[in-house]
Amino acid sequence: MTLFKADNLAINFGGIKAVDGVSFDVQKGQVFTIIGPNGAGKTTVFNLISRIYNPTEGKLFFEGNDITEVAPHNIANLGIARTFQNIELFEHATVLHNLLLGRHAHRSGNLASQMLFLPSQRKAELAHREKVEHVIDFLDLQHYRDTYIVNLPYGARKVVELARALCTEPKLLLLDEPSSGLNTEETEDMAFWIHDIRNELGITVLMVEHDMTLVNEVSDRVLALNYGRVLALGTPSEVQSHPEVVKAYLGG
């Protein structure tokens, strides 16, 4: 079953075609990875999907619905979460508060009942807290629960951002270079978690990644981009042995 589909996506910045006629679809339960050399347009595709940029041409579909015009803040309500290459957390808040904000899209109730913190609100808050605790357990963040983000090491922040995305209970998780800035050991952990996110939580993952070890380990399908165009699409080994891909990476 197709969960997400990009159809003939294109965007121009000035006269430059950063992304040009990119089409692909992501099946439910897959880990789908976009690779490519620097400047290939990977992050641009990502920003198009998460609606930071408006495509010049083409359409995006999520669960069969056209989401090309959906505002970025409504992406979360649809069930799409994302992380950022350079980490975007609420730095002057604790890990717990960051994760609870991941529940924002699921909060309900009117202003008065919230201000008075009525029993119904209390109950809802406890349920949110429970969800958050599940994620904390899942990603082994117990130790950092009450730490302010500014005091966390980089690697831990990366995991917190992943945790916050999981707290939104997404159907599709967009990961922008999950291994960037991580050391080898942390990258191995990340591969392990992406595996579990798909297998245990059943969440479809669409990621941009350049660490080929991680890509090979977790991806079901790989899309190679260069100069904003699709070079190859297939299994990790198919794509890596594709002559165009080899040429793009090694030159020549």
Partner 1 sequence: MGGWTLSEIVQLLLNGLAAGCIYGLVALGFVLIYKATEMVNFAQGDLLMLGAFMAYALIEHYSMNYWAAFLGAVLFMAVFGYLLDTVILRQVIGQPQFAVVMLTIGLGFLFRSGASMIWGTETRAFATPFTDGVTRVGGFVIADVNLSIVIGTAILCGLLYAFFRFTRIGVAMQAASQNQLAAYYMGIPVKMIFSLVWAISAGVAAVAGILLAPVSLIDVTIGLIGLKAFAAAVLGGFGSIPGAVFGGLVIGVIEQFSGIYLPEGFKDVAAYIVILLVLFARPQGLFGNIGRKRV
Which residues here bind partner 1, judged by CB under 8 A? Answer: 50, 71-77, 81-82, 84, 88-93, 101-102, 104-105, 107-109, 111, 114-117, 121, 150, 164-165, 168
Least distance CB 135 / partner 1 (angstroms): 14
Least distance CB 48 / partner 1 (angstroms): 15
38/108 with CB nearer partner 1: 108
Least distance CB 244 / partner 1 (angstroms): 33
Least distance CB 46 / partner 1 (angstroms): 12
Least distance CB 62 / partner 1 (angstroms): 15
122/143 with CB nearer partner 1: 122
Q: What is the 3 state secondary structure string of the chain?
A: CEEEEEEEEEEEECCEEEEEEEEEEEECCCEEEEECCCCCCHHHHHHHHCCCCCCCEEEEEECCEECCCCCHHHHHHHCEEECCCCCCCCCCCEHHHHHHHCCHHHCCCCHHHHHCCCHHHHHHHHHHHHHHHHHHHHCCCHHHCCCEHHHCCHHHHHHHHHHHHHHCCCCEEEEECCCCCCCHHHHHHHHHHHHHHHHCCCCEEEEECCCHHHHHHHCCEEEEEECCEEEEEECHHHHHHCHHHHHHHHCC
171/195 with CB nearer partner 1: 171
Using CB atoms within 10 Å of the CB of residue 72, give its burial: 0 to 12 exposed, 13 to 18 middle, 19+ buried. exposed
55/102 with CB nearer partner 1: 102
Least distance CB 92 / partner 1 (angstroms): 6
35/95 with CB nearer partner 1: 95
Cβ atoms of 64 and 4 closer than 8 Å: no
97/195 with CB nearer partner 1: 97
